[in-house]
A and B are shown apart, each in its own frame.
Chain A
Amino acid sequence: MIRSHVLICGGTGCTSSGSLKIQEEFTRALEANGLSEEVKLVQTGCFGLCALGPVVIIHPEGTFYSRVEPKDVEEIVTEHLLKGRVVERLVYADIGEEEVAESIANVSLNDTAFYKTQKRVVLRNCGVIDPEDINEYIAMDGYQALGKVLTEMTPDEVIQVVLDSGLRGRGGGGFPTGRKWALTAPNKAPQKYVVCNADEGDPGAFMDRSVLEGDPHCIIEAMAIAGYAIGATKGYVYVRAEYPIAVKRLQIAIDQAKEMGLLGKNIFDSGFDFDLEIRLGAGAFVCGEETALMTSIEGNRGEPRPRPPYPAVRGLYDSPIVENNVETFANIPQIILNGAEWFASMGTEKSKGTKVFALGGKIEHTGLVEIPMGTTVRDIVYEIGGGIPGGKAFKAAQTGGPSGGCIPARLIDTPVDYDNLTAIGCMMGSGGLIVMDEDTCMVDMAKFFLEFTVDESCGKCTPCRIGTKRLLEMLEQITSGNGTLELIDEMEKLCYYIKDNALCGLGQTAPNPVLSTLNFFRDEYIAHVVDKKCPAGVCQALTNYKVVADKCKGCTACARVCPVGAISGKVKEAHVIDTSKCIKCGACMEKCKFGAIIKE
């Protein structure tokens, strides 16, 4: 008889920090202690707190163990599972500074700083169910929405509910989902398709991966609902091959759904047929753009094509399609079950519901969070994200990856929704949120994203192929100390030219990181070209290492570690760095115990 469930995170983050080994260890320890019959091991999707992985939750107590190592497992089994004593040293119980729990064993997960401001709609099953077991999904109201739609609602009613909910595309564009469906539905073409875009390509973004890994059935259910609404009988999930766990679990889920008759012919005896297939992408960023994605599904080289014709008229195999992002689909079953009003009650006036963000960069709790629209950047970074490591100052947050822009510190109280972000020249994007602290050079950051777009440009249109390359060269000139004020103006002009003339979304948005940093951090660009200094001390060509004579004790540690012999000086006397020899590796600064070496 099962009395306890041990949930082990099997998301990509925890898997790479060793959760599979932990699972093996649990299996062994439970066996050794004669508990195999009483305790069930469940491999789930992502819990969100990736920074503290591997993560293990034990129910019914709901104890949250973080940074579990294989050697800890024996103790958890013999202490917690056998004797009921929580292993306190491994418990994550950060409930914020103001409150102190009387016993950390009593802290509920939902009260912890990381979880309490979150609202989990899309991620509600992630980290709760076993994604490889359709029955667990059904236990959590799974496929109820599909049943309701097929037996009680007309396609028009379904579209109306989605329209009323105010749901907007979570891939970044923010186009109203209901409107997209309503555009495709009236088309009388003999074949239509539903396409799920799981080609998550922004550096640092992993929202869609986590949903597919943790709750694959909700995507299948939502796509079938969309199929019914628009009159499509076939769907494709386009997912990148770099997501092997997501692909595997999705395939298992599709097979289980087919076996149970939740995909296939005559679902719920309603006469509705729907079938689903996975298409693997080779990882080209441009394939996340909807027209390039369709071209790739058709078996061609992933290149965008001009619109119109829009996909709602002529998309995949010349047939009309509805194409939505993973997170958009993940909202659908809940909207159908709980109603449009419920969904519209969350969020802001024009951005309803929640948004999942992948927190990364200079932040304490790297991981996956879901917040109601309208939560401020401050709350995301400091409340949920646990602030910036080492007490450094927040400088900016980049949203929307290489297509987006940055939110500077002075706008940290901006409520996050589609319109607010657009208003400050930023964009919602698909949900990557990269936090930067005072040590980040904004010019260097823009250069990083431009390097990415130059690599990923498909080359079909000239503004993007040549324009982004030239833009990158200009940024390189600036960071190497060869920039001029005229060059900055020239660069800005080129940005607008690319924006106006590129063929697809990738090219049109590629200059955004440059424009947004120019807008908020122009002084940094000016410092690079006029003073020939990098204020953050990142751009090597503009940085020199120097010994502060007052602080130097003459211990010779720096001189010994310097790989090029650029440091000279006598024992117990201040040392000197020869800047003509220095290769700026920073080894001396790391080695110095007295803080006597500085960058400037």
Chain B
Amino acid sequence: MKSLAELQAIKEKMQNKVALREGSGEMRVVVGMATCGIAAGARPVLSAFVEEVANNNLAGKVTVSQTGCIGICQFEPVVEVYEADKEKVTYVKMTAEKAKRVVEEHIKGGKVVAEYTFAAHNA
């Protein structure tokens, strides 16, 4: 070890990997993973979120976790995005492709992808 910069580089590289354990993400992405969700294809959606969050170095800010049946099985795969002091956003009929767009526009950009939401499908 020759310099603080070298140490800092290892720290930054590793931080993403342990950030998962901090549990205090400002934003929570919750994927419905009950039998209905898994049957409708929730697994690739979950993987896509995990992957995109990591690729964009958002692990310290965003927690991706799973939950059981959300109760609207005909709209699975369902994804909910929680953010402090904001209304919960519910995305329905998700795919891995759609997940990428949600990370890009909503999580990074702060703009809800309206056309994927429950409200849009239920209108």
Binding site for B on A (CB under 8 A): 1-5, 7, 38, 59-62, 82-85, 108, 128-129, 135-136, 138-141, 143-144, 147-148, 151, 260-262, 267-269
Q: Is the CB of B68 within 8 A of A268?
A: no
With A2-B50, A59-B21, A60-B23 known as contacts, the answer to whether A143 contacts B7 (CB < 8 A) is yes
Interface centre among B11, B15, B31 (most CB of A within 10 A): B11
Complex alpha-carbon distance, A141 and B20, angstroms? 16
A83 and B3 contact, Cβ closer than 8 Å, known pairs A136-B18, A139-B15:
no
Which B residues lie within 8 Å of A62 (CB)? 23
Taking the complex as formed, is B105 at the interface, i.e. its CB lies under 8 A from any CB of chain A?
no
In-complex Cβ contact of B68 among A2, A85, A143, A151 (8 A): A85
With CB as the reference atom, state the residue of chain B lying closest to A269.
B2
Given the known inter-chain contacts A4-B20, A7-B21, A38-B47, please indicate yes or no for A268 contacting B3, CB distance below 8 A: yes
Least CB distance from A336 to B in Å reads 13
Interchain residue pairs A-B with the least CB separation, the first 10: A84-B66, A139-B14, A3-B50, A84-B33, A261-B1, A60-B63, A85-B68, A62-B23, A147-B4, A1-B51
Tell me which residues across on chain A come within 8 A of B66, comparing CB atoms. Answer: 83-84
Check: B35 CB closer than 8 A to any chain A CB: yes
Q: Is the CB of A60 within 8 A of B64?
A: yes
Bound CA–CA A61/B23 (angstroms): 7
Q: Among B2, B4, B7, B50, which residue has its beta carbon within 8 angstroms of that of A1?
A: B50
Which chain A positions have C-beta within 8 A of B1? 143, 147, 260-262, 267-268
Convert B20-37 into 0s and 1s, putting 1 for each residue whose CB lies closer than 8 angstroms to a CB of A: 110101000001111100
Q: Which of A85, A140, A151 contacts B4 (CB 8 A)?
A: A151
Q: Which of these, B17, B33, B38, contacts A139 with CB under 8 Å?
A: B17
Q: Check A268–B2 contact: CB distance below 8 A.
A: yes
Interface of A is mostly: loop
Chain B hits for A260, CB < 8 A: 1
With beta carbons under 8 angstroms apart, the residue of B7, B35, B38 that contacts A138 is: B7
B18 engages A85 (CB within 8 Å): no
How far in angstroms is the closest Cβ of chain B from A102?
15
B33 contact set on A, CB distance < 8 A = 82-84
Q: Answer yes or no: B54 CB below 8 A from chain A CBs.
A: yes
Q: Look across to chain A and name the residue whose beta carbon is closest to the beta carbon of B16.
A: A139
The answer, among B4, B63, B68, for a CB contact under 8 Å with A84, is: B68
Are the CB atoms of A138 and B10 closer together than 8 Å? yes
CA distance A148 to B33 in the complex (A): 46
Contacts of B57 in A (CB 8 A): none
Nearest CB on B from A281, distance (A): 31
